[in-house]
């Protein structure tokens, strides 16, 4: 299961300054450009063996919504296997 801590660990690895996330943090609050967002999505897809539809991702998603989207994607892909 994907959690807020997973995103926090990823950010701690790539950012020079620590950013503290909450479930209300929006994707746009990360300050990522489109390439950095794609790198985050790619990291999640590889780590959790899922495919994330880019059309479902937008800057206004909160971390809570983003986590739910990923976890729901994991469940649907498990059912397809």
Which residues in the chain come in under a pLDDT of 50?
78-81
Predicted pLDDT at 20: 92
Predicted pLDDT at 79: 45
CATH of the domain at 28: 1.10.1200.10
pTM of structure: 0.82
In the chain, the number of structural domains is 1
Predicted pLDDT at 81: 46
Decide: 54 and 41 in contact? Cβ < 8 Å: yes
Predicted pLDDT at 74: 65
Burial category of 48 from C-beta neighbours within 10 Å (exposed 0-12, middle 13-18, buried 19 and up): middle
Residue 29 is part of which domain span?
A: 4-80
């Amino acid at each position: 299961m994907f959690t807020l801590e997973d995103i926090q660990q990823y950010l701690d690895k790539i950012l020079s300054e620590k950013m503290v996330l909450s479930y209300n943090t929006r994707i746009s609050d990360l300050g990522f450009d489109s390439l950095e967002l794609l790198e985050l999505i790619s990291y999640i897809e590889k780590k959790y063996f899922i495919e994330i539809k880019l059309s479902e991702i937008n800057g206004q998603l909160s971390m809570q919504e983003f986590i739910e989207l990923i976890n729901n994607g994991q469940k649907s892909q498990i059912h397809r296997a």
